[in-house]
A and B are shown apart, each in its own frame.
Chain A
Amino acid sequence: MQDDLTAAATSLPRLPKAPTGIEGLDEITEGGLPMGRPTLVCGSAGCGKTLMGIEFLVRGAAEFNEPGVLMAFEETAEELAANVTSLGFDLAGLQAQKLLRVDHVHVDRSEIEETGEYDLEGLFIRLGYAIDSIGAKRVVLDTIEALFSGFPNQAVLRSEIRRLFRWLKDKGVTTVITAERGEGTLTRQGLEEYVSDCVILLDNRVIDQITTRRLRVVKYRGSTHGTNEYPYLITGDGISVLPVTSLRLDHQVSNEIVSSGLEALDDMFGLRGFYKGSSVLITGTAGTAKTTLAAAFAEKVCQEGNRCLFFAFEESPRQLMRNMSSVSINLQPHSDAGLLRIEASRPTINGLEQHLVTLHRLVKEFKPDAVVIDPISNLITVGNIAEVRSMLTRLIDFLKVNGITALFTALVSGRGQQQEMTDEGVSSLVDTWISVRDLEGVGERNRGLSILKSRGMDHSNQVREFIVTPRGIVLLDVVIGPAGIVTGASRHTQQLKAQAQARAAQAELDRKDRELERRRRVLEGTIANLRTEFESVEEELRKINQEEQEQLSGGRRPADDNAPAGDSQSAGSEPTAQA
């Protein structure tokens, strides 16, 4: 939608802007300060107002070829030059190149006597001469309010300051006016009445003993701008404002897959790993091997020849390497080869923004393919939840935009309840969420691992028990008992029980086979018996039959004696007769 609007607006002339070159500020102001107009930078002591002004000039001269004039009311040119040398700003060099002119305006009440009507034309001429002599496009008036201490006539001063701003506008120079913050007002002397084009408020807040500097664009006439309070830092390279790096979610995505470092864990993901450039969260209670999982991932990244940046907030690099080598995760060679960089610090060493800046800087320097932060939950010690969340949002966005795979670990507290919530509430920001937890059973604790979510790919729904062995992390197969998943010793019991059952079943089967065999044998025996019996009966019958036959022929003979016998005789006699 914003694109449509800007497209429509391009036909009209847009408010010209002068880029400040200050990291992040140009993003918030959408291009820079209003060109040719005055901008008021106000804030309390120690906010970096002067520094912002100087950086605006130095960057303008060095990067945008816009010479500048610095009119300093509080510090002399030498003091200013010395103060900003540590930031790499060479004021003397720029002055020699005629890209910068520093004019210290000395205001001393004791030297000034008012004797009638006057104006500040002297200042105008000075400034005008300085601007014209180097063709300046930028002007910084560092705490013009100092004039109020030197000149008691406020009416004159106010009308003259109003005239000064008008005059600067007419000259077309982009001006930054710094002013001290007042009670209940933006500036002590109410300068905001005169500067109405752009007002930037710097703030230095101490909450829970931690200082955070914040910047807010109070108003910007004729332009849209980021309206939030943005943390900023004074770093070794000047001011760095941290806007949410991607206000719109439009980063590039990759279809490449990176391994989790554990083959068995990869198997639980549909595409065997995480998407490159995605963010992975490992949550778990204390002692659930979160760091070990993170280190396994880091090792895998390095083994594939990629670079990994490991932020350790709990252990020193040596301690981490020693501890991980006990489970066959050898980080030392990768560290030596320059593929792995372990950055260890206590979270409390810096404010959150400093951490974020350190991270930004290291990522820019080291150009890692993957970043591991172990653990993010420790950051809560440096800020409140909302701040940590906003910092992590920016961090995740930053890494995503740069296509860096990020793996975070987080300690979750409160066993049993709310295990599915991280304290930082970042779970909705991450793409893949692995939960490790204690499965506490009868007299022992075991570790279980499950995938709570994995955007863009299917994943196993099982809770896998895993053990940390001297050879690394091993995921065990799922064993399901009568009351759900069984782990640890119960797993063994369950396995033994299952084996016994299997043996019993086998024995039963064997017994049945044998029974059948026996029956068959009995049957066969019976059959043989019957057959034998039958044979003897058969034989008996045959014998009887034979005897009967014989008897039959023998009976005829005695019958021959009688009538039949005569037959036989006759028959017998016949052959004889015939013979």
Chain B
Amino acid sequence: MEAEELADPAGPEYALHLYITGATPNSVRAVHNIKEICELYLKGRYELLIVDIYQQPELAQEVGLIAAPTLVKKRPGLVRRLVGDLSDRRRVLTALGLPIPPELDHADNG
């Protein structure tokens, strides 16, 4: 999974959809967190779509949402769902198939 298969012609390497529920605290935090993660670890390799399901409730069934906020990783690899405000960075990175940077490892241990 870690193998860096470089950009397939369909689009950027990472396709991420974040479903949020308006301006609830969890949603605000999730938006903030995912933007930070993307900037830090996926710069230039991602496509992020943020959907407010209050605005488009019909999507909730289509996507099969249960919890909110939910980040759906469409690409690469298997589709994964990350629920929560994405504040557990280690887990987010693991789920996205990204290497854990040493400073995070260190910070967690410390």
Contact = CB atoms under 8 A, between A and B. Distances in A.
A569 B89 CA distance: 206
A103 interface: yes
Nearest to B21: A121
A183 interface: no
A130 interface: yes
A106 interface: yes
A120 B21 contact: no
Interface of A is mostly: mixed
B86 interface: yes
Contacts of B33: 116
A115 B91 contact: yes
B88 interface: yes
A116 B67 contact: no
A147 B66 contact: yes
B109 to A, nearest CB: 19
B84 A105 contact: no
Nearest to A108: B81
Contacts of B87: 115-117
B26 A119 contact: yes
A122 B70 contact: yes
Contacts of A128: 57
A154 to B, nearest CB: 14
A116 B29 CA distance: 10
A114 B84 contact: yes
Given A125-B21, A125-B54, A115 B83 contact: yes
B73 to A, nearest CB: 9
A134 interface: no
Nearest to A132: B57
B75 interface: no
A106 B92 CA distance: 22
Contacts of A151: 66-67, 83
Given A113-B95, A123-B65, A126-B61, A118 B26 contact: yes
Given A111-B79, A113-B80, A115-B83, A120 B57 contact: no
Contacts of B4: none
Nearest to A107: B66
Interface in B27-74: 29-30, 33, 53-54, 57-58, 60-61, 64-71
A150 B67 CA distance: 11
A122 B68 contact: yes
A116 B54 contact: no
Contacts, number: 104
B58 A129 contact: yes
B88 A120 contact: no
Interface residues of A, number: 25
Interface string A88-126: 000000000000000101110001111111111111011
A118 B83 contact: yes
A117 B26 contact: yes
Nearest to A133: B58
A72 to B, nearest CB: 12
B33 to A, nearest CB: 8
A122 B91 contact: no
Contacts of A115: 71, 82-88, 91-92, 95
Contacts of B86: 115-116
Contacts of B14: none
Contacts of B91: 113-115
A115 B53 CA distance: 20
Interface string A462-498: 0000000000000000000000000000000000000
Which of A112, A115, A125: most chain B CB closer than 10 A?
A115
Nearest to B83: A118
Given A112-B81, A115-B87, A117-B87, A150 B66 contact: yes
Contacts of A120: 66-68
A129 B30 CA distance: 24
Contact of B65 (A111, A113, A116, A122): A122
Contacts of B57: 125-126, 128-129
Nearest to A73: B66
B60 A118 contact: no
Contact of B66 (A117, A122, A129, A130): A122
A115 B79 CA distance: 16
A107 B67 CA distance: 11
Nearest to B95: A113
Contacts of B82: 113, 115
A574 B64 CA distance: 189
Given A107-B66, A112-B83, A120-B68, A129 B92 contact: no
Contacts of A150: 66
B83 A125 contact: no
A123 B66 contact: yes
B65 A114 contact: no
Contacts of A107: 66
A111 B84 contact: no
A111 B70 contact: no
Contacts of A117: 26, 29, 84-85, 87
13 contacts: A105-B64, A106-B64, A113-B80, A114-B84, A118-B67, A121-B24, A121-B53, A122-B19, A122-B66, A125-B21, A125-B68, A126-B66, A129-B57
For the complex of A and B, list the 4 residue pairs with the smallest distance between their C-beta atoms, beginning with the closest.
Answer: A122-B65, A116-B84, A116-B85, A129-B57
